[in-house]
Structure 1
């Protein structure tokens, strides 16, 4: 720290320092951070928006594959084994990512991670498993339309958790985009009712609806936790720990709750191929989702996944002879419009007003600004999740 001149008020000392050293800060900043021209390699906003939407649609297509294989297993072969299907995915994650952590050295080694954060990943693994289980279980009690609509509850959950725990701040256009996406989802549900696809088991609709809301809440918690981990730690650590604890808990749940159903499965090459297809899509979804979340956000990903049901419907027109409605196309393009609106503007990370800004200069001292100074957001995330700074060398203390 610099030595202050005795006898002068604090604001005079700060003014004296600024007049003496501002040229040093300016000289250090300008050569490496030109303010007038952006980096030529940086994507323009249109490219960012298109890439953001396209990445989300890849995830939706993977979920479409998961839905189709699950439908064939349950309806054509009467293989109702959601826990076993999750268990296969967690085993694949364990074999690929947990073993990768096991052979690493130093602080990124599996044992080192377990010593520091084992209980946190244990909770996360349990949350992830039960989120999948609750939503799949809801199909036994309520209708498809209810599940499609109530599953949208994950979006406000992610927004609230991102606001409070990740300090992400949204603009008006983001909320407009979210509303448009949900309207598109409502349009699809209306088309299902008109086409007669809203029927379901309906044995106890309230129980089914509560299961969907519970699953959506757990999905939201898992997604925001995932975003935090991949931004602060690593994708491999997240997937390795999910594979470890997910396989552990799903194995226990499988042995207790689903072993009889598994014995009833009429095994043949077709069923085996469907399980392989399901596991491949699920593994691809888990492996690719952290990449997309890091480039966009958990909120953007969940908005993108709203189109997954529509891809399944479009495939069902040919595979299951569903009736077509123009409302499905209207729903699809409405959701895409909402995604474009959401991705058109960057979110930003809020700064705690109690925290001082600090100017860090390798060749000069550090200045602490007064706590009463106005603190404006200086760090934003583009639609691709890239960090930018409005003021070079400004960091939150």
Structure 2
């Protein structure tokens, strides 16, 4: 009986092939261990929750505009700021010490006026841009806020990025480009706009103001408290949007054919926007403003999916591809935490607030720190 030849069917694979197989398996395990963690899955879930809130505001606004010819973005924002004022500003009014409303106003009133102005005008400029430019321009130029946000985070929050973060942002923007291409193929680009240049400028200004607002939000919720941010935005947002409402929309409000359906849509918009403002600081506290902005890029896609049934949009497989690409980029960004190069001696006083958000997120912060050490 002949001995089996080295190259026969029963012979073990060469050592080189065994080594390559082990290396591949080890690489897959490392990738899985790095991406499939509770911290990353939690971040993805929280980001998509915010996207659904934005989707809710978009759907209700579009329904008001198309079915009832109601275009009052400032009124809708004013209602949201009033809710923030009634909840969070009143909470500050009953706080003591450095968390008290009067103390904050005495020390930092002008800073929060600027923050409220940036937040109100960011919302207004983006909505107004749709009257002048195209849907494609708004979707593409709105992404300008992400590099602006990263630059502001670098200088203000001392965030330091790795190569993987820039790759992840590029992947997310590629997904947005895919979504825009799908819109054009599906025929959603049905208007050239009345003045494209003005519309594009409004989008760029709005995106930049969003970036300013988000960086300030991250600084405040991480250094001070969530209640302070929401309370002061609610206070000055109500004042600023109320004044602007009387100037630019008083005629539109007077012509609204009020009934229970329109009122219900306003309530639905207010609930979605209030949830967005209330939950976003919680997500930013355990991640960053940049990662949140990458995560909510899928909001337009959720709106498109709902639009298939509510507004008769045409479906395209590119929407699924776009969603997948954005989620891959978002996951890549979250897989590696950014570094912080903040000076050892900070001029910010120690945090004395022990609100519900700080207590509730203590476990998440500890998990994130552990995750950073492991990586």
The interval holding the TM-score normalised by the smaller chain is 0.7 to 0.9
1:107 to 79, 93, 98: 98
Residue of structure 2 equivalent to 1:226: 217
Contact 1:295 1:384 in 2 (8 A): no
Is 1:176 matched with 2:171?
no
Residue of structure 2 equivalent to 1:28: none
Change (3 A) 1:332 1:265: same
Distance 2:369 2:60 in 1: 35
Residue of structure 1 equivalent to 2:283: 292
Is 1:339 matched with 2:339?
no
Contact 1:347 1:382 in 2 (8 A): no
Is 1:76 matched with 2:63?
no
Distance 2:223 2:42 in 1: 23
Q: Kindly provide the CA deviation profile for residues 244-272 of structure 1, in whole angstroms up to 9, marking residues without a partner as x.
A: 00000011001111100100111000000
How much does 1:229 deviate? 0.4
Q: Kindly provide the CA deviation profile for residues 100-129 of structure 1, in whole angstroms up to 9, marking residues without a partner as x.
A: 000111221100110010100011001100
Change (3 A) 1:386 1:221: farther
Contact 1:107 1:113 in 2 (8 A): yes
What TM-score results when the alignment is normalised by the length of structure 2?
Answer: 0.83
Distance 2:366 2:280 in 1: 15
1:149 to 135, 140, 146: 140
Q: Indicate the RMSD between aligned Cα atoms, in angstroms.
A: 1.9
Change (3 A) 1:44 1:325: closer
Is 1:279 matched with 2:270?
yes
Pick 1 or 2: higher relative contact order, CA cutoff 8 A, min separation 6.
2
Judging by fraction of residues, say which structure has more helix: 2
Residue of structure 1 equivalent to 2:77: 86
Trace 1:1-397 onto structure 2 (pairs within 5 A): 46-200=37-191, 202-352=193-343, 386=369
Is there any run of 5+ residues in structure 1 with no aligned partner, and where? Answer: 1-42, 357-380, 391-397
Q: Number of aligned pairs?
A: 322
Change (3 A) 1:97 1:74: same
Change (3 A) 1:303 1:316: same
How much does 1:52 deviate? 0.9
Distance 1:333 1:260 in 2: 43
Q: Kindly provide the CA deviation profile for residues 199-241 of structure 1, in whole angstroms up to 9, marking residues without a partner as x.
A: 2360001110110000000000000010000011100000000
What TM-score results when the alignment is normalised by the length of structure 1?
Answer: 0.78
Q: Kindly provide the CA deviation profile for residues 72-116 of structure 1, in whole angstroms up to 9, marking residues without a partner as x.
A: 111111111011000000000000000000011122110011001
Change (3 A) 1:76 1:187: same
Q: Kindly provide the CA deviation profile for residues 8-29 of structure 1, in whole angstroms up to 9, marking residues without a partner as x.
A: xxxxxxxxxxxxxxxxxxxxxx
Contact 2:218 2:284 in 1 (8 A): yes
Contact 2:139 2:180 in 1 (8 A): yes
Residue of structure 1 equivalent to 2:16: none
Distance 1:284 1:202 in 2: 32
Residue of structure 1 equivalent to 2:29: none
Distance 1:335 1:383 in 2: 28
Contact 1:230 1:294 in 2 (8 A): yes
Residue of structure 2 equivalent to 1:362: none
